[in-house]
Amino acid sequence: MNLGITGKWALVCGASKGLGFGCAQALAREGANLVIVARGDEALQAAAQTLRADAEVPKGTKVEAIAADITTPEGRAKVFGFRKDFDIVVTNAGGPPPGDFRDWDREAWMKAVDANMLTPIELIKATADGMAARGFGRIVNITSSAVKAPIDILGLSNGARSGLTGFVAGVARTSKLASANVTINNLLPGSFDTDRLRGNFAGAAKKTGKPVQEIMDARMKTIPAQRFGNAEEFGATCAWLCSAQASYITGQNVLIDGGAYPGTY
């Protein structure tokens, strides 16, 4: 299926590796021009090179890499200084650390809310009206399955991302955006084999003294698909949500978790 996004400009945040990179790759393979963002310049430039050299990316597709912390006003100014009129925006940044709510002070909360709620809102604010004026826009927020099925030690994530989810539910349904072919959806990963997930398992292994592989196997057994997801399949779903064909899908929370969420709705 041709997704109808050749030549569109996509901003993909948190894209030097993991799920963000998966989204960037899938969009570039559909011919979308990219601005990819991460803080670490070396890994980001390497990611850009991989995309430019990808045989499945159509010739002429542009890939720009901007090293910036997307959770800061300065970082966002750097990105929008390069280009303002994005057709596609994938919001993403690192998730907050796990822990016990008794240990989180105002600073810890503000950091989580800034990264996982206010930053996507700022990115939507900066791009949605321009998209509406041009008659095409796709915004995908990478959130977490924890929005639907909260995980106790991820309280910072549960809280901040639920705030974003509530905001998106309202703004996506404003007729000014929805009637102008601008959609805003959230993509909710379950367990994906990325550095972040492996880092979590390494932490659990240290705490419990169990081998990492044993912890990973135990987690996999809880997932009906009996495996972790990979960034490529995550990216493919993201690209589909950004397609011309997905114009009637907005304000949704799309779970991608191998069947791990046990509810009907």
Minimal distance in Å, beta carbon 101 to ligand NAP? 18
Q: Are 3 and 243 in contact (CB under 8 A)?
A: yes
Q: Is 113 in the site for ligand NAP (CB under 6 A)?
A: no
By CB under 6 A, tell whether 259 contacts ligand NAP. no
201 binds ligand NAP (CB under 6 A): no
144 lines the binding site for ligand NAP (CB under 6 A): yes
Residue 230's contacts (CB-CB under 8 Å, 6 or more residues apart) are 22, 192, 193
Q: How many residues touch ligand NAP (CB under 6 A)?
A: 29
d(CA 117, CA 159): 9
The one-character DSSP state at 50 is: H
Nearest to ligand NAP of 19, 32 (CB atom): 19
- Asked if residue 122 binds ligand NAP (CB under 6 A), the reply is no
- Which helix (H) or strand (E) element contains residue 129? helix 119-134
Binding mask 181-200 for ligand NAP (x = CB under 6 A): --------x-xx-xxxx---
Rounded Cα–Cα distance for residues 264 and 255 (Å): 12
**Cβ-based neighbours of 113, under 8 Å, separated by 6 or more:** 159, 160, 163
Task: Establish if 91 lies at the interface with ligand NAP (CB under 6 A).
Answer: no
Residue from 3, 12, 13, 65 binding ligand NAP (CB under 6 A): 13
Question: Per-residue x/- mask for ligand NAP, residues 147 to 176, rule CB under 6 A?
Answer: ------------------------------
> Scanning residues 15 to 74, which ones bind ligand NAP (CB under 6 A)?
15-20, 37-40, 43, 69-71
Output the smallest distance, CB 228 to ligand NAP, in A.
7
Question: Judged by CB under 6 A, which of 10, 57, 66, 93 binds ligand NAP?
Answer: 93
Q: Binding to ligand NAP by residue 123, rule CB under 6 A?
A: no
Residue whose C-alpha is closest to residue 37's, from 83, 93, 96, 115? 93
DSSP per-residue letters across 133-169? HHT-EEEEEE--GGGTS--GGGHHHHHHHHHHHHHHH
Helix (H) or strand (E) holding 44: helix 41-53
| Residues of this chain that bind ligand NAP (CB under 6 A) | 13-20, 37-40, 43, 69-71, 92-95, 142, 144, 189, 191-192, 194-197
